[in-house]
Homo-oligomer: A and B are copies of this chain.
Amino acid sequence: MDKSPLVLLELIERLGNLMRAEARRVGSDEQLQPVHVEALVYLSKANRYSNTPQALAEYVGITKGTASQSLLLLDRRGLIERYEDDLDRRVVRLRLSQAGEQFLYDNQPQLAWQHATRNISPNRIRNAVSALRETLSTFQADNEGSPFGSCASCQHFERLSARAYRCGLMGDRLSAPETRKICWLYELKGSAAGDDEE
């Protein structure tokens, strides 16, 4: 019997712990909790559909109530800005403020980690990435977890021309950089559409 899967999980857990500890360290100057740092990082990577409290909450795995609190704090600290959605006046949209961008730029939470992979060949990294990606998507399929992916492998993604893209679900044109951001509405290509209209 092979114990590798267990070892893999242990490693991921351990690395995750250390990343969390790193986030704690990075945030301690500014009196920020790990979750706050994660939230800032998320906002820097979220596309236009996904910059809401709700999406953030799902991504980092907290309830919307807690998310609301954390966002309040980040707002007080001037690291994020909130603005109303034009179409739906219930939804609040979020973006990093100048200070928020600066904070991420100064601290580069991911730099130390990127550095830690320097001895590993690009090829091995790509292999690891694909294995982890598959693990993630299997787990999500099992648990109906919210997907959170980017356009590349999304069912709703449409390529209009050489460099014109479109989200079939929302109907918007998308810029090339935007297609690489994190999206909440992501649906893995190939999964059944199910019930649309009656």
Copies per complex of this chain: 2
Bound Cα distance A135, B117 (Å): 5
Is A18 in contact with B114, judged by CB distance below 8 angstroms? no
Interface residues on A, range: 35 or more
Question: A131 — which chain B residues lie within 8 A by C-beta?
Answer: 120, 124-125, 127-128
Q: Does A15 contact B (CB under 8 A)?
A: yes
**Mostly helix, strand, loop or mixed at chain A's interface?**
helix
Is B7 in contact with A129, judged by CB distance below 8 angstroms? yes
Q: Which of B38, B116, B136 contacts A11 (CB 8 A)?
A: B136
Binds B, one of A85-93, A99-107, A139-147, A171-179: A139-147
Is B8 in contact with A117, judged by CB distance below 8 angstroms? yes
Bound Cα distance A6, B11 (Å): 17
Question: A69 — which chain B residues lie within 8 A by C-beta?
Answer: none
Q: Does A76 contact B (CB under 8 A)?
A: no
Q: Does A21 contact B (CB under 8 A)?
A: yes
Known: A17-B60, A17-B61, A112-B143. A135 touches B122 (CB 8 A): no
Residues of A within 8 A of B (CB): 2, 4-9, 11-21, 24, 38, 59-61, 110, 112-120, 122, 124-136, 138-139, 142-143, 145, 148
Q: What are 23 A-B pairs with beta-carbon distances under 8 A?
A: A2-B122, A5-B125, A7-B129, A8-B125, A9-B114, A11-B133, A12-B19, A12-B132, A14-B136, A17-B38, A18-B136, A21-B61, A112-B139, A112-B142, A112-B143, A115-B138, A116-B136, A118-B138, A125-B131, A127-B127, A127-B128, A128-B131, A128-B132
